[in-house]
Chain A
């Protein structure tokens, strides 16, 4: 009989992504709820030294699937290796992060294993063998409680939506030589914007919209830097060429769930709200007291962002000393 929870770790250049700790922590909670153990699969190359850290988040067993061909993510190599391990381990639940990688891998696995799947899950309830996952739909206008049937059940958790919890796991490490099988996709190269904080992982985001009036986002960069956050943008700011597409928050941009979202010169169109409505605390800064964003914000400040943002940066610096 299928049992146990299997989490899939995600690494970038040999380091785990934050969502891995979230998925492993959540996996541990499910395992506790089902009264079973948690195994974490670590696909990659040369991951031995960092893989042990996962015991801190409750991994009872850590399977390192080691192969130079797994250093960079490609759908077919990863799907082949992970599906193989799932076949052998026969887990009741498979959990991973709903990142670009997780969203690519999970449907492929689900189709191969004929498994129930839910992506971008923000809450999981376990009741015996039955699992209900909550996920936003319609750009966050609704929340859906979905029931997953059969085994395994594949759940991809939205980055930043779940907490990271430390707990003890035996952390028995096993390294398997992973067979990537037949593959068609070739990794050519990657370009990463170094030392830029990824929006979906950021705890704090300061976003600018048309109200910025141009491509100079220096005052937002300064506020974000003072708080240790990242800078996002509305679609208008991207369409105007002020910011990169990868900075766009919203229905056709990124969906983010930071602890704090500061919207500056953004009116609060429904397509923008779709990307940030699951933020824990929202601050709106807008010179128009009737801007719709104020009704979706926890704190609103009416005024000129060019005066307010630098003043806020000074206040933040003052409390951070």
Chain B
């Protein structure tokens, strides 16, 4: 079973995000970068499947020099190879463009299963997984919190509003991760040592024979969400009094109950 994990490096979720001077991008000076948490679930699930069924786990990413760190972390968790597409021309791509590049790269690699995150928690786009599957013409199942592979078929539990749907798809297929799928392992010290020697290929767009697709979606402006001005503390002598004042405010002022 050859498994490819699509991995994006993103700012740590606790990072303070500021807007850069161009008004369209973020300040990156003091940011700590990590593997997108949903892609961490993807790495873990790929390793579990490999442990049961044998095969290889490859990490594929479109990124920059610093993305090497995230891929190495995946290799230290136990993945076998890394492929980094590092080309300044990808900087202007939108999500469909990134998906097209990933799909072209995938066409040059063996894969039975592709695992992506449901979304990258930087731009929260929710696009790349489904678009890659479409470009490759393979089935996709998204928001998966349980999977099982039997006889060349994958059976997934997909979370939907208010419940779970069970779906089958023949391999090769792509699925995207949902929390609850697994608890990602930490990279062990020997794992980190081994990772240094594992193959990590860096490619440019011309290596995979594609030009940067021109974007159809562009950020015109980033802004801070409106601050909550309320911040009113409800004071009172007893729980009963506070409760009464709160409900009065919610009823008469905020009009939400």
Contacts and interface: CB of A to CB of B under 8 A. Distances in A.
Interface of A: 12, 17, 72-76, 79, 98-101, 103-108, 110-112, 114-120, 132, 135-150, 184-193, 196, 198, 200-201, 204, 227, 245-246, 248, 251-253, 259-260, 269-271, 274, 277-278, 280-283, 294-304, 307-308, 311-312, 314-316, 318-319
Given A204-B257, A303-B239, A107 B129 contact: yes
Interface string B130-169: 1101110011111101000000000100111111111111
Contact of B239 (A148, A193, A307): A307
A275 B167 CA distance: 27
A98 B126 contact: yes
Contacts of A100: 142-143, 158-161
> Can you list the 4 inter-chain pairs with the closest CB atoms, starting with the nearest?
A107-B130, A298-B230, A311-B243, A192-B163
Given A308-B242, A311-B240, A145 B96 contact: no
Interface size class for chain B?
A: 35 or more
Q: Is the interface of B mostly helix, strand, loop or mixed?
A: mixed
A211 B239 CA distance: 17
A200 B161 contact: yes
Contacts of B224: 142-143
B256 A259 contact: yes
B247 A316 contact: yes
B130 A299 contact: no
Given A108-B130, A119-B127, A315-B244, A185 B169 contact: yes
B233 A110 contact: no
Contact of A135 (B94, B124, B129, B145): B124
B244 A190 contact: no
Contacts of B249: 299
Contacts of A114: 96, 216
17 contacts: A73-B165, A75-B139, A104-B143, A106-B130, A107-B129, A111-B99, A138-B17, A138-B121, A145-B221, A190-B166, A191-B163, A193-B163, A260-B256, A298-B230, A298-B254, A301-B233, A301-B242
Interface of B: 11, 13-14, 17, 19, 26, 37-38, 94-96, 99, 118, 121-131, 133-135, 138-143, 145, 155, 158-170, 173, 178-180, 215-225, 228, 230-234, 239-240, 242-244, 246-247, 249-251, 254, 256-257
B242 to A, nearest CB: 5
Nearest to A74: B167
Contacts of B99: 107, 111
B168 A104 contact: no
B50 to A, nearest CB: 24
Contact of A299 (B38, B95, B225, B230): B230
B127 to A, nearest CB: 4
A107 B216 contact: no
A217 B112 CA distance: 43
Contacts of B220: 132, 145-147
Given A270-B13, A301-B246, A137 B166 contact: no
